[in-house]
């Protein structure tokens, strides 16, 4: 799939991109729905789930926000849809800003308040860093479109979405790490989670740069 296909409105590539997002986010979204069902239905309280029962608000907000953010967010990247229904893009975009901020802020809230028994200090710091990065990217993307700057808007929203989708890539990096080296220790857990965010942001940055080229080329002429 070529990055410029989004700009050119190549619907086949866009559909592939949306499908890839849904596949990538399937594991964390399924885990989230399972966690909500357990919280609603009650379960034996164990050291693994005690923090969610003791303080369910941030995790419930986090999961509900993430379901809307991922599903609706993927459609915002389809150029044909964006052009045919600009009103939809704007209305869905406002809801997405809210949901994205809820996901990022509740992620930070859990990082700061839950006694998370894995990942150690490094994962704690990475979550603070990337969670704040997600919130900042969404706010910068929102401010850019208020100024009418669609190029920066798209770039910042892509970065915010890439950090959010880190949850999906992390499921894969953790799985791969465990297959190669067995269950990770705290350092391994932190590095594999960090790798998920770095991979996603690198792909987003590559796509953003490829999309900018036609604009820069047109400006030079
Ligand atoms: C759309 C993106 C995201 C999805 C789909 C997602 C999904 C989830 C799910 C399903 C859980 C519950 C895990 C469980 O039940 O054991 C969770 C927990 C958590 N998430 Fe996210 N998340 C996303 C983004 C983020 C971001 C950007 C951060 C960064 C701060 C973050 C930080 C956390 C933290 C700290 C927890 C609690 C972990 C624990 O106590 O074990 N999440 N997330």
Query: What is the value of pTM for the model shown?
Result: 0.89
Whole-number mean pLDDT of the chain? 89
Res 15: pLDDT: 79
Task: Give 32 Cα–ligand 1 centroid separation in angstroms.
Answer: 8
State whether the beta carbon of 160 lies less than 6 angstroms from ligand 1: no
Sign of CA dihedral 163, 76, 21, 13: negative
Domain coverage including residue 186:
4-220
pLDDT digit string, tens, across residues 73-127: 988 887 777 778 778 888 999 999 999 999 999 999 999 999 999 999 999 999 9
pLDDT digit string, tens, across residues 19-78: 888 899 999 999 999 999 999 988 889 988 999 999 999 999 999 999 999 999 988 887
State whether the beta carbon of 99 lies less than 6 angstroms from ligand 1: no
The answer to whether residue 188 scores a pLDDT higher than 80 is yes
Q: Spell out the SS3 assignment of 124-181.
A: HHHHHHHHHHHHHHHHHHHHHHHCCCHHHHHHHHHHHHHHHCHHHHHHHHHHHHHHHH
Task: Give 90 Cα–ligand 1 centroid separation in angstroms.
Answer: 27
State whether the beta carbon of 131 lies less than 6 angstroms from ligand 1: yes
What is the count of structural domains for the chain? 1
């Amino acid at each position: 799939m070529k990055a410029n296909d989004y700009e050119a409105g190549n619907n086949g590539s866009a559909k592939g991109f949306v499908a890839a997002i849904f596949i990538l986010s399937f594991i964390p979204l399924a885990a989230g729905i399972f966690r909500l069902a357990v919280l609603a239905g009650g379960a034996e309280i164990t050291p693994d789930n005690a923090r969610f029962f003791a303080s369910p608000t941030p995790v419930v907000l986090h999961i509900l926000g993430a379901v809307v953010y991922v599903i609706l967010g993927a459609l915002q990247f389809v150029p044909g849809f964006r052009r045919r229904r600009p009103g939809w893009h704007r209305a869905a975009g406002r809801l997405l800003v809210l949901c994205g901020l809820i996901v990022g802020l509740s992620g930070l809230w859990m990082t700061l308040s839950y006694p998370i028994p894995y990942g150690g200090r490094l994962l704690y710091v990475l979550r603070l860093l990337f969670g704040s990065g997600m919130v900042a990217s969404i706010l910068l993307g929102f401010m850019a479109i208020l100024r009418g700057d669609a190029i920066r808007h798209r770039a910042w929203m892509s970065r915010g979405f890439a950090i959010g989708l880190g949850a999906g890539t992390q499921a894969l990096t953790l799985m791969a790490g465990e297959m190669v080296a067995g269950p990770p220790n705290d350092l391994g857990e932190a590095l594999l989670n960090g790798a998920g965010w770095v991979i996603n942001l690198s792909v987003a940055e590559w796509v953003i740069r490829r999309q900018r080229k036609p604009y820069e080329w047109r400006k030079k002429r």
